[in-house]
Amino acid sequence: MANAMDSAEDTAAIAHQAAPEGAPAQASPRPDSLDPKAAEAEIAQLRETLAHHNQLYHQQDAPEVSDAEYDALKRRLLALEAAHPQFLSAKSPSQTVGAAPAEGFAKVSHAVRMLSLGNAFSPEDVHEFEARIRRFLTLTPDEPVAYTAEPKIDGVSLALRYEGRRLVQAATRGDGSVGENVTANARTIAEIPETLPEDAPALFEVRGEVYMAYEDFSALNTAQAEAGAKAFANPRNAAAGSLRQLDARITAQRPLRFFAYTWGEVERLPAESQSGVLAAFQAWGFRTNPLAKRLEGTEALLAHHALIEAERARLGYDIDGVVYKLDRLDWQTRMGFRSNQPRWAIAHKFAAEEATTVLEAIDIQVGRTGALSPVARLKPVSVGGVVVSNATLHNEDYVAGRGAKGEPIREGRDLRVGDTVRVYRAGDVIPKVIDVDLARRPKGVRLWVSPETCPACGSPAVRETGEAVRRCTGGLICPAQAVERLKHFVSRNALDIDGLGTKQVEALYRLGWVREPADIFTLEARFGPEGSRVERLASLEGWGKKSAENLFVAIQARRRVALSRFIFALGIRHVGETTARLLARSYTTWEAFAAAMRAAGGPVERRTEQADETEGAEKPAEEIPVEDNPAHAHLLAIDGVGRTLAEAVLAFFADANNARALEHLLAHVAPEPEAAPAATDSPVAGKTVVFTGKLARLSRDEAKARAEALGARVSGSVSAKTDILVAGEAAGSKLKKAAALGIETLSEDDWIALVGQ
């Protein structure tokens, strides 16, 4: 529905091939001899067939085919996806293990979310990690910073809840907020204690990783082969499949192990440091990783990383990096969390894998915002055990050998079709072409030039001043943008409509049945009387009766949706998940948000006033824009919303096509109010707080994080809706404006006294 989006999301949308190395022989006809339409149809049919057999095998224990027949179907799917990577999907049976236990396992809401970790890939990243910590906590250069460092296990996350010191619940990570109840299965793992000792807290949730050692994995696959059963692809998949068995007796026969390394909801902690809690885990009967170590400073971390990487092959289990965590728990508390990861921890991944191959073509992919992204089509090559045939090329400057500021990259060497190139991938990062071997460049290869028209609709493709990407100007007439917007709308972090994946959206769009989001919710009604609806959808190639029934059920379940998800699903440029939550919590209802955006309509009006000085900077204040329009001011007052983002949001609502599409959609979908998080016993819960001037005892980031944790809304500017201004040294115009408006003003000491350390 939007004409633009975050460029990072455009890049992340690039599909890339990742099939296991050494795939079995291909069936006839050869996959690469099929045209895309025929390949897509066969892939869709194979996926539905395999999903059916997965459900019978994993959920109902009633297989209809032999393992040999199943494996032949799986090999054919792998070969087709390798030959036609544009159809690869993360939900494909080739990329998953078993089947989601839709009814087999009860759902568990995590009292404390299970978050992911940020990644570091170089020593520079690790040094910057510590620099951020020092800035956030305002530490002096000579103050030591201690960490725990331990291997990052490539397994399955598990949360173990003990009440009255007895194991009462075990849950998988799931989506971080809701996981699956696998308590009976966890009880079969010998390294998970049933009870905790008397000195342990009565309520404590231990978290860690379930994994399978190489030796045990090999023995399991041998036993599977002897029993005529299906072999597992790798230890992680074997661990995941074993833990998620509906019959705990099967799990009990699998050699699963467990490392404890963190915690969730607790009554109290047994120590004041990360390393101290790990020691307590050991005393309680849990295994912790023997390579976990308390270290001071980044040089010690890097040395330990090198040691673990050197020992990696001899450990006997899979790891993919080393996790660093601040050791002091009070510092962890002060630093808090971003939207989906802690500020005080990072995963330092092992060195990227590299390989050399031939650049066979440079294709253009049109994103949902119209961004034209060049994609490298490569001669398939194994990179760290994964076959790669596509890689990102970012934008036209990257292909030309120029960086974001026009500086040379790869020493100015451009990329051309026919070149021998170096490709790398690190962890889950999309493969990337990093260099070219000019000595092996064939004669006569032509300079690559970005197209000036959209390959999908023929509209002019324009690169605006200051933009890194060229964009199609076709807007809603561009089929590529329309399809990508629909894919985004139904994606997991947006409306999450199960059964509407890439293939299904593209097919429904081609047929003209779904052209805008509202069409999804009228699809069933437009398909005729009861009974014929399912039959009509099931008659399409790649669909079946069950998948059609499930889709209609999934659509009905999304007629009410959280406001933050709804805003994110609209695909407004620059509005990611975090920003969508900020907007939802600030306006709380769709009606309030939409009314404010419509009231703000038209160009942003600007005047200037003297700015407060930047914290810690010794430079003169500069003129900054200030909004005359109250709706503009409110939007910009949300901490984390800058002018570029605000203008993108206002432009979205000012567009007549978007207005019509929203009107159609809101006739079928009701965004649910989203209250701002509030700590009810906090003196600042629900209040709007602004920080200005230089703070002496807290960094600005820490002060904001603390206020938000207590339920306050942090704003970047003073308005009539501001409740408290916290003024540090040399506060400027914000202090004057607060005084004029009669807003309560606190010193830094007053603030700390009010909210506590």
In terms of C-beta density within 10 A (0-12 exposed, 13-18 middle, 19 or more buried), how is residue 140 classed?
A: exposed
Rounded distance, CA 682 to CA 720, Å?
Answer: 22
Separation in Å, CA 37 to CA 16, 34, 41, 176, 610: 19, 8, 6, 37, 61
Give the strand pairing for 345-349 and 118-120: parallel
Interacting residues of 205 by C-beta distance below 8 A, sequence separation 6+? 111, 112, 159, 160, 161, 162, 263, 264, 265, 266
Q: Which of 152, 230, 432, 487 is catalytic?
A: 152
| DSSP of 256-295 | -EEEEEEEEEES--S-SBHHHHHHHHHHTT----TT-EEE
Asked if residue 29 has a cis previous peptide bond (ω within 30° of 0), the answer is: yes
Instruction: Work out whether the CA dihedral 259, 260, 261, 264 comes out positive or negative.
Output: positive
CA atoms within 13 A on the CB side of 447: 7
Distance between CA atoms of residues 695 and 731, nearest Å: 10
Q: Distance between terminal CA atoms of the chain?
A: 45
The span from the CA of 407 to the CA of 404, in Å, is: 7
Query: Which residue shows structure tokens 């025929």?
Result: 38
- Cβ–Cβ < 8 Å for 683, 754: yes
Q: At what angle do helices 517-526 and 545-556 cross, to 10 degrees?
A: 120
Counted residue by residue, the chain has a size of: 757
Q: Which whole-number Å values give the CA distances from 708 to 58, 635, 703, in the listed order?
A: 44, 18, 9
Which SS3 state, helix, strand or coil, does residue 373 take? Answer: strand
Cα 213–214–218 angle (5° rounding)? 120
CA distance 222 to 144: 51
Q: Are 568 and 577 in contact (CB under 8 A)?
A: yes
SS3 380: strand
634 vs 718: CA distance, rounded Å: 10
Rounded CA separation 492/521 (Å): 17
- CA dist 543 and 504 (Å) reads 9
Nearest one of 501, 480, 482 to 490, comparing CA atoms: 501
Cβ partners under 8 Å of residue 41, min gap 6 = 541, 542
Cα–Cα distance, 468 to 554 (Å, whole number): 38
Q: Are strands 156-163 and 166-172 parallel, antiparallel or unpaired?
A: antiparallel
State the Rg of the chain over Cα: 28
SS3 224: helix
From the list 356, 365, 353, 351, the residue with the least C-alpha distance to 393 is 365
Active site residue 152: yes
Longest dimension (CA), the chain: 83
Residue appearing with tokens 């910009």: 636
* Spatial separation of the C-alpha atoms in residues 249 and 497, rounded to whole Å: 34
What is the distance between the alpha carbons of residues 570 and 607, in angstroms, rounded to a whole number?
A: 31
- Amino acid type, 581: R
What phi-psi label fits residue 206: left (phi over 0), alpha (psi between -120 and 50 degrees) or beta? beta
Residues recognised as catalytic: 152
